[in-house]
Amino acid sequence: MHQNLSADFKDYELIDCGNGYKLERFGKFILSRPEPQALWKCNLSEKEWNEMADAHFERDKSSPEKGLWTKKKNMPDQWKISYNNLIFRLGLTGFKHVGVFPEQAANWDFIQKKVSKNAKILNLFAYTGGASLAAKAAGADVTHVDSVQQVMKWGKENMELSSLENIRWVTEDAAKFVAREVRRGNLYDGIILDPPAYGRGPDGEKWILEDMLDAMLADCAKLLQPKNSFLILNLYAMGFSSLLAETLVKTHFKNCKEIETGELFFTDRFEKKLPLSIYTRFIT
Q: Which CATH number fits the domain 3-82, given the four candidates 3.40.640.10, 3.30.70.260, 2.60.40.1180, 3.30.870.10?
A: 2.60.40.1180
Quote the CA–CA distance of 153 and 157 in Å, as a whole number.
Answer: 6
Amino acid (1-letter code) at residue 75:
M
What does the mean pLDDT of the chain come to?
94
> CA 91, CA 172: separation in Å to the nearest integer?
24
Query: At 187, is the secondary structure helix, strand, or coil?
Result: coil
Sign of CA dihedral 202, 208, 209, 213: negative
Judge if pTM exceeds 0.85.
yes
Listed as ranges, residues in the chain with pLDDT below 70 are: 1-7, 64, 237-238
In the chain, ranges of CATH 3.40.50.150 domains: 100-283
Per the CB < 8 A criterion, the answer to whether 172 and 147 are in contact is yes
Dihedral, 144, 147, 149, 155 alpha carbons, nearest 10: -30
Per-residue pLDDT at 25: 98
pLDDT of residue 245: 93
SS3 144: strand
Cα 127 to its chain centre, rounded Å, is 7
pLDDT at residue 64, rounded to an integer: 67
CATH of region 100-283, choose from 3.30.300.350, 3.40.50.150, 3.40.50.300, 3.20.20.70? 3.40.50.150
Residue 186: how many CB atoms within 10 A of its CB?
Answer: 14
User: CATH 2.60.40.1180 occupies which residues in the chain?
Assistant: 3-82
pLDDT, tens only, 46-67: 999 999 999 999 988 777 678 9
